Each structure stands twice: as C-alpha cells, then as structure tokens.
Structure 1
Amino acid sequence: MSVTEKERDILARTLYGEARGEGVTGQIAVAWTIRNRVNDGKTKSWWGEGYAGVCQAPYQFSCWNKTDPNYQFLTSVKQIPFSELGQARIAANQVIDGKVPDPTGGATHYYALSMKKPPAWAAKAKQTLKLGGHVFFKDVP
C-alpha cells in the first residue's frame, strides 16, 4: 500500500496529540493501533480509509476533535515543537514502513489511564498491552 506524505504527516500529528508524553515506544504502540485499523481487511472500514481517514474519523482520536486543546497544534494554528514532531514522525514512519513489530498484539483500541473511568467497551475486550499511560485492546465488541 502506497502511503502519501500527507498521510504520514497526519499520523505523526496524531501521535503527537495522543501520545507525545509516551516516548517513541508508546507512540509506536499507538501508531500500530492505527495501522491495525487501516489494515482491518474490510473493503469499507467504518474507521475510515487509509491513515488520514482513520486518524481523522469523527470521535475516534480525541486530539482531532475541534474542542480538544491539541487540535490547534494538529492543524498548524499553533506550532508543534520541532523535536517533538520529529520524534512522532520517526515513530510514524517506522510503523508505516514495517520496520518495527506490533507491540500491541493486534490492538485496534486503547484508552488513556488518565481517564476518570475506562470506556464501556473495555469490559468485554481482550487487553493486549499496558504501556506507559495507555492500555491496548483487541476483539472489541
């Protein structure tokens, strides 16, 4: 699958918005969750098509919600610090290019431990990884 520079940029910005405090390892895990959605095998995925479609699908990744404080950084209204965006780009490219294995075990969902309570879907899903401030899941009903 050919991935455009725009899609790579949107994935990197999503990693910044969702996992900038996690380091490269945590960003790789989030990127793999997105890649697993992109490659879910369905002809038309309800998650969206391609990296940009999945990342920017409404209510899938909160950093793209217009009311989220990260949104202004993702849309370049505010500048993302160069080194932080660079780190996110490295993680995004490593995952897109298949240079790192999937540490999430096929996860398609995660949530941040900073949430007041876990999302309802987590109770019936299979947890695959807990890394930094995120918990990853697959087989989400």
Structure 2
Amino acid sequence: MDVTEKDRDVLARTLYGEARGEGLAGMVAVAWSIRNRVEDGKEKSWWGEGYAGVCQKPYQFSCWNKGDPNQPYLTGAKQIPFRELAQCRIAADQVIDGKVADPTSGATHYYATSMPSAPKWANGAKKTLTLGNHIFFKDVP
C-alpha cells in the first residue's frame, strides 16, 4: 500500500489528539491499533482506506469529532506546538515504516481508562494490553 504524506500527517495529528500525554510507547500503541485497521485485509474496509481514511472515519477517533477540543488543532485552525507534533510524527513514522513491533498484539480498538465505564463494544472482545491510560482490544464483536 502506498502511504502518502497526508497519511503520515493525519496519523501524527491523530496521535496528538488521542495519545500526546502517553509518551512515545503509548503513541506507538495507538498508532498500531490504527495500522491494524488499515491492514485488515479487506478490499473495501469498513474502517476506511489508508491511514487518513481510517483516522478521519466519522466517530471512530473522537479527537476528529466536531466539538472535540482537539479538533481545531488537528484541522490546522490552531497550531500544535512544534515539539509535541515532532514526537507524534516520530511515532507515526516508526509504525508506518515498520520500525517498531506491535505492542498491542493486533488490537483494533482501545479506550481511555478515564471513561466512566467500558464501552459496549468491549464486551466479548479480547483485551491485549493496558498501557498508560489506554486499554487495547482485538476480536471486537
């Protein structure tokens, strides 16, 4: 699959919105959950096509939702601090380029431990990793 500069930028911005406080390891884990959606093996994936398509699929990554406080940073209406975006780009590039192994063991979903309760989709899914403030899952029904 060809990965465009837009794919790399959108993934890095998604990491800013979803995992900037999680350090490099946490950003890599979130990026891998996105890569696992991108590489689901289906010709026309429900998740969307490519990194940008998956990240910006409506209601999949809340940081892109209208009204989310992160969304103006992701769209460029507000500027992401250079150092933070640079760290997000490093994590995005490492995952896209296959330079780091998947710490999530194939997870396609995660949620933040700050949520008041687990989302319904987590029922029956296989938990693969707890890292920082995120819990990762695969085989989501």
Whether these two folds match at TM > 0.5 is yes
| 3-state SS, counterpart of residue 129 of structure 2 | strand
Distance in 2 separating the partners of 1:16 and 1:23: 11
- Percent of paired sites with the same residue: 76
| 3-state SS, counterpart of residue 135 of structure 2 | strand
| 3-state SS, counterpart of residue 123 of structure 2 | helix
Distance in 2 separating the partners of 1:43 and 1:16: 29
| 3-state SS, counterpart of residue 41 of structure 2 | coil
- For these two proteins, the number of residue pairs brought into alignment is 141
Distance in 2 separating the partners of 1:84 and 1:106: 26
1:23 equivalent to 2:23? Answer: yes
Structure 2 equivalent of residue 38 of structure 1: 38
1:8-87 counterparts in 2 under 5 A?
Answer: 8-87=8-87
Distance in 2 separating the partners of 1:111 and 1:82: 26
* Structure 1 moving runs of 4+ over 2 Å: none
TM-score by length of structure 1 reads 0.99
1:129 equivalent to 2:129? Answer: yes
Distance in 2 separating the partners of 1:17 and 1:28: 13
Deviations 1:90-138 (A, max 9, x none): 0000000000000000000000001111101112100000000000000
Distance in 1 separating the partners of 2:116 and 2:83: 30
Distance in 1 separating the partners of 2:123 and 2:4: 36
Distance in 2 separating the partners of 1:122 and 1:48: 21
Distance in 1 separating the partners of 2:28 and 2:64: 19
Over aligned residues, Cα RMSD in angstroms?
0.5
Q: 5+ residue gaps in structure 1?
A: none
Q: What code does the residue aligned with 1:113 have?
A: T
TM-score by length of structure 2 reads 0.99
Q: 5+ residue gaps in structure 2?
A: none
| 3-state SS, counterpart of residue 136 of structure 1 | strand
